[in-house]
């Protein structure tokens, strides 16, 4: 099965940035994210790791997402992190968008994420999550494939690159 999307369907590194809004503190926080998407395993499952670095929060957040059971326009997704545990959801995609949601689970955690393909190959993303205690999180940002550093064929870390330019 060939997909028009590189995000989640191809083993690549992605980086991104944006704004997280938390209703309990009524504050908008900048974030930086890194995704590592691995090769599909023998069963077609695609494992990825997302790390989030949020301004003002010392600890990085880590989500492990597994995408599986792909059809022509649907898939299943499992997300696991230390805060919520493991939750399974459903996803959809077409030529211009990838989205998934988590609903009706035992964890009293639900929400969704959408990724809209841009002409440059990056994605604009939007996500909203809510927990049973009414903590709401809204995330707006963008993702892109980092440029490859020709000296070692590794993707450049934009954050370090910015630090170097400031010196």
Where residue 155 falls (left for φ over 0; alpha for ψ -120 to 50; beta otherwise) is beta
**Distance (Å, rounded) from C-alpha 50 to C-alpha 113?**
13
Q: Per-residue confidence of the chain (167 residues) as pLDDT tens digits?
A: 445 788 988 889 999 999 999 887 778 999 999 999 999 999 999 999 999 999 988 889 999 999 999 999 999 999 998 888 899 999 999 999 999 999 877 767 899 999 999 999 999 999 999 987 778 899 999 999 998 776 655 555 544 444 444 44
User: How much is the pLDDT for 107?
Assistant: 67
Helix ranges restricted to H, the chain: 158-166
User: How much is the pLDDT for 29?
Assistant: 93
**Lookup: tokens for 10:** 């191809």
Please report, for the chain, how many H helices and E strands are present, in that order.
1, 12
**Lookup: tokens for 120:** 């440059």
**Distance (Å, rounded) from C-alpha 95 to C-alpha 107?**
32
Give me the domains of the chain, ranges plus CATH numbers: 13-166 (2.40.128.20)
Of 76, 83, 78, 130, the C-alpha closest to 108 is 130
User: How much is the pLDDT for 78?
Assistant: 96
User: How much is the pLDDT for 156?
Assistant: 54
User: How much is the pLDDT for 161?
Assistant: 47
User: How much is the pLDDT for 148?
Assistant: 78
User: How much is the pLDDT for 63?
Assistant: 94
User: How much is the pLDDT for 70?
Assistant: 94
């Amino acid at each position: 099965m060939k997909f028009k999307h590189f995000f989640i369907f191809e083993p690549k590194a992605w980086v991104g940035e944006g704004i997280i809004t938390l209703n309990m503190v009524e504050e908008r926080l900048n974030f930086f994210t890194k995704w590592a998407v691995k090769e599909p395993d023998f069963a077609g499952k695609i494992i990825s790791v997302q790390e989030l670095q949020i301004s003002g929060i010392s600890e990085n957040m880590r989500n492990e997402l597994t995408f599986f059971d792909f059809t022509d326009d649907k898939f299943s997704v499992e997300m696991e992190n230390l805060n919520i545990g493991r939750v399974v959801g459903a996803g959809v995609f077409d030529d211009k968008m990838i989205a998934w949601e988590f609903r009706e689970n035992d964890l009293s955690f639900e929400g969704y994420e959408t990724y809209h393909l841009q002409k440059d190959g990056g994605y604009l993303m939007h996500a909203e999550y809510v927990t049973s205690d009414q903590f709401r999180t809204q995330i707006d940002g963008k993702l892109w494939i980092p440029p490859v550093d020709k000296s070692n064929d590794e993707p450049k870390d934009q954050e370090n690159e910015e630090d170097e330019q400031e010196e």
